[in-house]
Amino acid sequence: MRLSPQSRAIIQQAVALRWGDLAVVRLFGSRLDDSAKGGDIDLHIQVQGKVNNPLWEASLLAAQLQRQLDGRKVDVRLLDATQNILSVDTVALSEGVLLT
């Protein structure tokens, strides 16, 4: 996993502040490949209950994290309990690594 402990802590703290400690954060995509270089940070966040506007909330978190992570591009997929599972969710849930 190409994500520093400091970056992981920043992400976990930001997610916990927005959705609480029960939110599940997974890193997926190119950052899982230790031999690759560069790439954005792809995050899959699963929350309990309903989020009023998940696209907006995901965008707000992505913008916040980009500022906190020195401009590194961050993509966020937010999945709440009411949404249908998309192909990106299937990939993230099967191949993603939990940030702990």
In tens, the pLDDT along 30-86 reads 888 777 777 899 999 999 999 999 999 999 999 999 999 999 999 999 999 999 999
Alpha-carbon 60 to chain mean position: 12
Task: Taking residues 15-42, report their average pLDDT.
Answer: 89
To 5 degrees, how large is the angle CA 69–CA 100–CA 76? 45
User: pTM of the entire structure?
Assistant: 0.93
Q: What per-residue confidence (pLDDT) applies to 38?
A: 73
